[in-house]
Amino acid sequence: MDSTNKCSSTVVHIMPMTENIIRVVYSKNKEKPKNSILIAEDFIPMDNLATDNYLSEDNCILFKNKQGEVILKETGHSLTEKEVLAYYVDGEPVIKYKHTANGDVAYIENARRKSAGKSYEGKLVFSITEKEAIYGLGQHENGVYNYNGKKEYLFQANMKISIPFILSSQNYGILIDTESAVIFESKEGEVTFSIDTTDKLSYYVIIGKNFEEIIKELRNLTGRAPMLPRWAYGYVQSKERYYSSEELIDTVLKFRNSGIPIDCIVQDWFSWEEGLWGEKRADKKRYPDIKRLVDRLHKEQVKLMVSIWPNMAEGGTNLREFKEKGLLLPNTTTYDAYSEEARAVYWKQCEEDWFSAGVDAWWCDNAEPFSDADWNGEEKRPEELRYQLIADESKKSMDWTRLNSYGLLHSKGIYENWRKTKNGKRVTNLTRSSYISGQRYGTVSWSGDISAKWSVLRKQITEGIKFSMSGMPYWTLDIGAFFTVKDKWENRGCNCNGNTNKLWFWDGDYNDGVEDLGYKELYVRWFQYGAFLPMFRSHGTDTPREPWNFGKPGDIFYETILKFIKLRYQLLPYIYSMAGDVNQNNSTILRSLMFDFAEDENVKELSDSFMFGKAFLVCPVTEPMYYEVNNVPVSKAEKTKNVYLPKGAWWYDFWTNTLHEGGQTLVCRATLDVMPLFVKAGSIVPISEPLMYADEKKGEISEIIIYSGEDGEFTLYNDDGDNYSYEKGNYSTIDLLYRDNEKTLTFGMACGEFKYQENFKIKFIKSGENPKTVEFIYKGIEETIKF
């Protein structure tokens, strides 16, 4: 139903889309609005929905929950006409180059601007309650969790992935349907979205009984996340950077010879010939035979991820092709990802050398190509100025209404063209920039070039949680941080046009890297946290990152790193089943405590711990307990961390199986080899026997652990691991249901065409008792066993 009202010169369309989703559009014409590219093509609005009168007497738009209570009110909107400018060159272009953190960037010095017509600045205003908590908006830098009373600038930059979606503790979400830059502000009981440039105002309100339901509806609207390959949930080793095929192979062999599990190694920038930044052809002196390299890595069951860039230096064949076909963004050497033809050419270049040789994944660096305006200077600029700098720079080359979506279109081209090759591999794209709906393109976002500080680790925990609260299922970071030291450009081998000043973003605390015991401690704590993210990946510059650089067998740092790698692999059946739930049911892996314990007022502001799936409460350590910077011992004797256990559940200490009641703060042991970790009573956790790589046992479960004390349920998921046959039903799911009073576990009917597992070992854990183990042969039909 489209309820249309006209107010002055603006027409409002109020369109219920599903029982939980309402779309509102303000435009200057009466035509029914079409869906934007942010909405999934297979999203089908429901018919015959109730035609409630959403407009109040004062023309505010009211949104009600299922109980008929008004939970949100849109109180204001405006479309203010503005002039849009285009940049052009009159005569011969004067092209200048600068070396930046994002590579060699070209700009035209004599570009001029002219009027390109009219558009609008948009504004939407909503009223909120004083105690309401507002979450989401993507991933930023400052660790702000609750945005009630806060301001955030939604632009794309290194370390910022802006998503125009908020999630309220009143159980609604608002998606602003725009690709433009946006300013969010909350003050005095109002939330305002100021949209830089737009032709209309469009937004969706999603109402649900809890956060889980709202996010599921959001992904129903914006697109389902495909399955990533099983290996993507194993350990990924990266650094800046491996210099040759031989170094990549030697590193992988050292992992294997040391008995350290690994699934992927990453080739960072400069795989090209000297001076050809962004060229997707390898330097044949250092990478003489890419197929031989890939085959050798595959022989060791290790995948290869390769860094690719959208900007290219002069002199390369890639840039020349884009120039000849007129497929660059205006005034740049960056390809036009908004053009379908340009995306096809970009993919062809990716395929010619690396992909045709069997590379397994892409790392799309600099997917927000105009953040260079901000990445300079000794002092970090105020957020308002950063926003304006990047918006102004982007407007010289991009459609003003689409300043935030370059990374989205970049990912779309990779995904769609990869799928057209029909090579059977699942798309895996680690990208520094994404946008709402980016999940449908096989992306994992990471938080950019962060610095090695305890304060940054703490903020990153919050930012990862917020990113998932923005509807995006896959996020990770550089374990140990990208910048370890506080450094200058010349120490990296380039002079940035002669600028030798220190840079605000190159701001690590550990100038001696792995030689500093303080950094080793920070790295281990970061590593423990990273083991419970959707992708588990170490990366950084300034100092090496492989496990043996942190000690040798028997050393506490080395042994703790191995302990958590092995734990990650032990949990792979649990993690892969969660991934299946993301794909099939639009669920969330990295979960704010508000997803499962919203009735506990104590968790509303709590963002230093989170749920990894519905079983694990993860409590990273975020302060030094052994060493400060420069090997200085910490005087603190206690190696403990205070952990709040949410109400409404009982919690098992993962390390001891001791049971604790929720609603209390515990003083937990936090020695270097222990991160406080709890399992919710009633959890069903499938685990694997020790693995050297994720697909070694093809997803076979060695044991199902039942943590008694509450009822529980879980769905086991398995498939081939790295193809798209699951889309045609070639997967296996088995619903498990535990009833605590009866001490029974029910296996449901097997679903899907993939061969289900038949032999299971089930371990029953009850606090204060020795675990009980039961052997069970599953026949694919519903059956109940009793402990």
Tokens for 66?
């299922």
Tell which residue, 411, 397, 437, has the closest CA to residue 176. Answer: 437
Query: What mean pLDDT comes out for the span 117-144?
Result: 97
Helix residue spans in 514-571 (DSSP H) = 517-530, 556-570
Residue limits of CATH 2.60.40.1760 in the chain: 3-221
Q: How confident is the model at residue 269 (pLDDT cuts 50, 70, 90)?
A: very high
Would you state the pLDDT for residue 494?
44
Query: Rounded to whole angstroms, how far apart are CA atoms 648 and 665?
Result: 14
57 to 38, 54, 60, 78, 198: CA distances (angstroms): 32, 10, 7, 19, 28
Query: What mean pLDDT comes out for the span 220-229?
Result: 98
Residue 379 has pLDDT above 60, yes or no: yes
Residue 549 has pLDDT above 50, yes or no: yes
Tell which residue, 11, 401, 38, 436, has the closest CA to residue 198. Answer: 401
Q: How confident is the model at residue 501 (pLDDT cuts 50, 70, 90)?
A: low
Would you state the pLDDT for residue 2?
56
CATH of 230-566, one of 1.10.150.110, 3.20.20.80, 3.40.50.620, 3.30.70.270: 3.20.20.80
Which residues contact residue 369 at a Cβ distance below 8 angstroms, ignoring those fewer than 6 apart? 102, 310, 311, 329, 332, 334, 406
Task: Identify the residue whose tokens are 């892409």.
Answer: 362
Q: Which CATH class is domain 3-221?
A: mainly beta
Is residue 432 within 8 Å of 445, Cβ to Cβ?
Answer: yes
Most confident listed range (368-372, 492-496, 597-601): 597-601
Q: Residues 624-661: pLDDT tens digits?
A: 999 999 999 998 789 999 999 999 999 999 999 999 99
Give ∠ CA 663-604-536 in degrees, rounded to 5.
90
Is residue 438 within 8 Å of 368, Cβ to Cβ?
Answer: no
Domain 684-786 has CATH 2.60.40.1180: yes
Is residue 731 within 8 Å of 773, Cβ to Cβ?
Answer: no
Query: Rounded to whole angstroms, how far apart are CA atoms 202 and 210?
Result: 24
Tokens for 582?
């993301």
Give ∠ CA 482-488-492 in degrees, rounded to 5.
65
Q: Positive or negative CA dihedral for 23, 26, 32, 35? A: negative
Mean pLDDT of the chain: 94
Bridge partners (DSSP) of residue 538 are 237, 479
Q: How confident is the model at residue 372 (pLDDT cuts 50, 70, 90)?
A: confident
Q: What is the CATH number of domain 601-678?
A: 2.60.40.1180
Which residues contact residue 493 at a Cβ distance below 8 angstroms, ignoring those fewer than 6 apart? none
Would you state the pLDDT for residue 686?
98
Query: Rounded to whole angstroms, how far apart are CA atoms 265 and 287?
Result: 15
Query: What mean pLDDT comes out for the span 728-746?
Result: 97
Is residue 655 within 8 Å of 619, Cβ to Cβ?
Answer: no
Residue 497 has pLDDT above 70, yes or no: no
Bridge partners (DSSP) of residue 272 are none
Which residues contact residue 315 at a Cβ distance below 8 angstroms, ignoring those fewer than 6 apart? 275, 276
Measured in residues, the chain has a length of: 787
Phi, psi for residue 544 in degrees, rounded to 5: -70, 160
Buried b (16+ CB within 10 A) or exposed e, 150-175: eebbbbbbbbbbbbbbbbbbbbbbbb
Give ∠ CA 349-351-533 in degrees, rounded to 5.
110
518 to 364, 452, 483, 522: CA distances (angstroms): 32, 11, 15, 6
Is residue 769 within 8 Å of 749, Cβ to Cβ?
Answer: no
Query: What mean pLDDT comes out for the span 268-273?
Result: 96
Task: Identify the residue whose tokens are 């309100």.
Answer: 205
Tokens for 729?
């039903």
Residue 52 has pLDDT above 60, yes or no: yes
Tell which residue, 428, 617, 621, has the closest CA to residue 532. Answer: 617
Query: Rounded to whole angstroms, how far apart are CA atoms 147 and 186?
Result: 7
Q: How confident is the model at residue 50 (pLDDT cuts 50, 70, 90)?
A: confident
3-state secondary structure of 249: helix
Query: Rounded to whole angstroms, how far apart are CA atoms 531 and 635?
Result: 28
Would you state the pLDDT for residue 88?
78
pTM surpassing 0.85?
Answer: yes
Is residue 746 within 8 Å of 760, Cβ to Cβ?
Answer: no
Q: Residues 161-181: pLDDT tens digits?
A: 999 999 999 999 999 999 999
Query: Rounded to whole angstroms, how far apart are CA atoms 610 and 621?
Result: 13
Residue 153, H or E segment: strand 151-154
3-state secondary structure of 7: strand
- From the number of C-beta atoms within 10 Å of its C-beta (0-12, 13-18, 19+), residue 326 rates as exposed
Phi, psi for residue 537 in degrees, rounded to 5: -145, 130
Residue limits of CATH 2.60.40.1180 in the chain: 601-678, 684-786
Residue 614 has pLDDT above 70, yes or no: yes
Tokens for 616?
């694990």
Tokens for 452?
């090695």
Residue 376 has pLDDT above 90, yes or no: no
Query: What mean pLDDT comes out for the span 276-305?
Result: 98
Phi-psi region of 131 (alpha: psi -120 to 50; beta: other; left: phi over 0): alpha
Query: Rounded to whole angstroms, how far apart are CA atoms 593 and 458?
Result: 16
Tell which residue, 8, 29, 25, 7, has the closest CA to residue 16. Answer: 25
Pairing of strands 640-645, 10-16: unpaired
Q: Residues 681-718: pLDDT tens digits?
A: 999 999 999 999 999 999 999 999 999 999 999 999 99
Phi-psi region of 554 (alpha: psi -120 to 50; beta: other; left: phi over 0): left
DSSP line for 80-125: EEEEEEEEEESSS--EEEEEETTEEEEEETTEEEEEEEEEEEEEEE
Q: Residues 87-121: pLDDT tens digits?
A: 877 777 777 777 777 776 766 777 788 899 999 99
Residue 280 has pLDDT above 60, yes or no: yes
Residue 736 has pLDDT above 50, yes or no: yes
Which residues contact residue 95 at a Cβ distance below 8 angstroms, ignoring those fewer than 6 apart? 106, 107, 108, 109, 314
Of 234 and 489, the structure prediction assigns the larger pLDDT to: 234
Residue 146 has pLDDT above 70, yes or no: yes
Strands (E), 535-649: 536-538, 590-591, 610-612, 616-618, 640-645
Would you state the pLDDT for residue 99?
73
- Percent pLDDT > 70 in the chain is 96
